[in-house]
Chains A and B, each alone.
Chain A
Amino acid sequence: MGERTIDIRTVAVLALVGALVFAVPLLTADRYLLKVLTFVGINVIIITGMALLFGYAGQVSLGHAAFYGIGAYTSAYVVTSLGWPWLGGVALAVAVTSVGGLLLALPSLRLKGHYLAMATLGFGEIMRVVFVEARGITGGPDGFSGIPFASVGGLAIDSAGANYWLIWGVAAAMLALAANLVRSRAGRAMRALHGSELGALACGIDLTGLKVRVFVISAALAGLAGALYAHVVGFISPSTFSLHASVVLVAMAVLGGTRSLAGPVLAAALLTLIPFADAVIPGLSRSALETIQEWQEDIYGLTIIAVLLFVPGGVAGALRRLSRVGRRWG
Chain B
Amino acid sequence: MSLLEVRSVSKQFGGLTAVDDVSFDVFEGAIKAVIGPNGAGKTTLFNILTAFDRPDEGRVSFDGTDIVGQPPQRIVRAGIARTFQNTQLFEEMSTHENVMAGAHAVTRAGFFGAALRLPWTVREEREVAEEARRLLRLVGLEEWADTPAADLPHGLRRLLEIARALATRPRLLLLDEPAAGLNTAETASLADALYRIRDRGTTILIVEHDMGLVMEVSDEIVVLDRGAKIAEGPPRLIQKDPAVIAAYLGEEDLDEL
Query: Of the 9-residue stretches A132-140, A146-154, A156-164, A187-195, which lies at the interface with chain B?
Result: A187-195
Size class of the A contact interface (CB-based, 8 Å): 20 to 34
- Report if A198 contacts B (CB, 8 A): yes
B88 touches A181 (CB 8 A): no
In the assembly, what is the distance between CA of A2 and CA of B83, in Å? 24
The residue from B92, B102, B107, B116 contacting A195, defined by CB atoms under 8 A apart = B92
CA distance A196 to B97 in the complex (A): 14
> Which of the 9-residue segments A24-32, A119-127, A199-207, A246-254 touches chain B?
A199-207
B196 CB–A CB distance under 8 Å: no
Cβ of A203 and Cβ of B92 under 8 Å apart?
Answer: no
A204 near B110: Cβ-Cβ < 8 Å? no
A195 touches B91 (CB 8 A): yes
Scan residues 89-125 of chain B and give those whose CB is less than 8 A from a CB of chain A. 89-94, 96-97, 100-107, 109-111, 114-117, 121-122, 124-125
15 contacts between A and B (CB under 8 A): A3-B146, A180-B115, A184-B109, A185-B103, A188-B97, A188-B104, A191-B90, A191-B97, A195-B91, A199-B101, A202-B82, A202-B165, A203-B105, A204-B104, A206-B71
Report the contact-size class of chain B (Cβ under 8 Å from the partner): 35 or more
Q: Is A177 located at the chain interface by the 8 A CB criterion? A: yes
The CA-CA distance from A180 to B165 in the complex, in Å, is: 26
CA distance A50 to B97 in the complex (A): 24
Do A188 and B100 form a contact, CB below 8 Å, given A177-B116, A202-B165? yes
Residues of A within 8 A of B193 (CB): none
Judge whether A1 is part of the interface by a CB distance below 8 angstroms. Answer: yes
Contact (Cβ within 8 A) A184 B104: no
A232 at the interface (CB under 8 A from B): no
Stretch in B14-22, B73-81, B183-191, B226-234 touching the partner: B73-81
> Within the assembled complex, what's the spacing in Å between the Cα atoms of A198 and B76?
13
Establish whether residues B121 and A184, one from each chain, have CB atoms under 8 Å apart when the complex forms: yes
A202 and B116 in contact, given A186-B111, A195-B93, A196-B88 (Cβ under 8 angstroms): no
Nearest Cβ in chain B — how far from A222, in angstroms?
17
Nearest A residue to B117 via CB reads A180
Counting CB contacts under 8 A, is A213 at the interface?
A: yes
Contact present for B84 and A198 (CB under 8 Å)? yes
In the complex, whether B144 has a CB less than 8 A from a CB of chain A is no
B33 to chain A, nearest CB (A): 20
Q: How far is the CA of A192 from the CA of B103 in the complex (A)?
A: 12
Complex Cα–Cα for A205 and B73 (A): 6
Q: Which of A2, A187, A202 contacts B81 (CB 8 A)?
A: A202
Contact B115 A201 (CB under 8 A): no
Q: Which residues of B contact A46 (CB under 8 A)?
A: none
Q: How far is the CA of A2 from the CA of B100 in the complex (A)?
A: 9
Name the residue on A nearest B128 (C-beta): A185
Tell me, yes or no, whether A217 is within 8 Å of chain B by CB.
Answer: yes
Q: Which of A180, A188, A217 contacts B101 (CB 8 A)?
A: A188
Taking the closest CB of chain A, its distance from the CB of B250, in whole angstroms, is: 32
Residue from the list A2, A181, A200, A259 in contact with B125, Cβ < 8 A: A2
A205-223 vs B: 1/0 string, CB under 8 Å?
A: 1100000010001000000
Q: Does A178 contact B (CB under 8 A)?
A: yes
Q: Which residue on B lies nearest to A214, using beta carbons? A: B111
New A-B contacts (5) at CB < 8 Å, excluding given A189-B101, A191-B93: A186-B114, A191-B97, A192-B93, A202-B50, A203-B103
Bound: A185/B114 CA distance, A = 8
- Cα–Cα, bound, A203→B83 (Å): 10
A195-B109 CB under 8 A given contacts A3-B129, A185-B114: no
Q: Give the shortest distance, in Å, between B169 (CB) and chain A (any CB).
A: 10
Query: B114 near A187 (CB under 8 angstroms)?
Result: yes
**Contact B72–A189 (Cβ < 8 Å):** no
**Assuming A192-B93, A198-B84, is B73 touching A184 (CB within 8 A)?**
no
In the assembled complex, B195 has its CB within 8 A of some CB on chain A: no
B84, B102, B104, B111: the one contacting A217 at CB < 8 Å is B111
List B contacts of A185 (CB < 8 A): 103-104, 107, 109, 114, 121, 124-125, 128
Q: Are A180 and B114 in contact (CB under 8 A)?
A: yes
For B89, the chain A residues whose CB sits under 8 A away are 195-196, 199
Per the bound structure, the CA–CA distance linking A202 and B164 in Å amounts to 9
Q: Give which listed residue, A3, A184, A203, contacts B114 with CB less than 8 A.
A: A184
Residues of B within 8 A of A217 (CB): 111
Counting CB contacts under 8 A, is B52 at the interface? yes
Judge whether B168 is part of the interface by a CB distance below 8 angstroms: yes
> Which residues of A from 1 to 31 have beta carbons under 8 Å from B?
1-3
From B84, B93, B104, A205 is in contact (CB under 8 Å) with B104
Chain A residues whose C-beta falls within 8 Å of the C-beta of B76 in the assembled complex: 202-204
**How distant is the Cα of A187 from the Cα of B111 in the complex, in angstroms?**
9
A185 CA to B123 CA in the complex, in Å? Answer: 12
Residue of B nearest to A207 (CB): B73
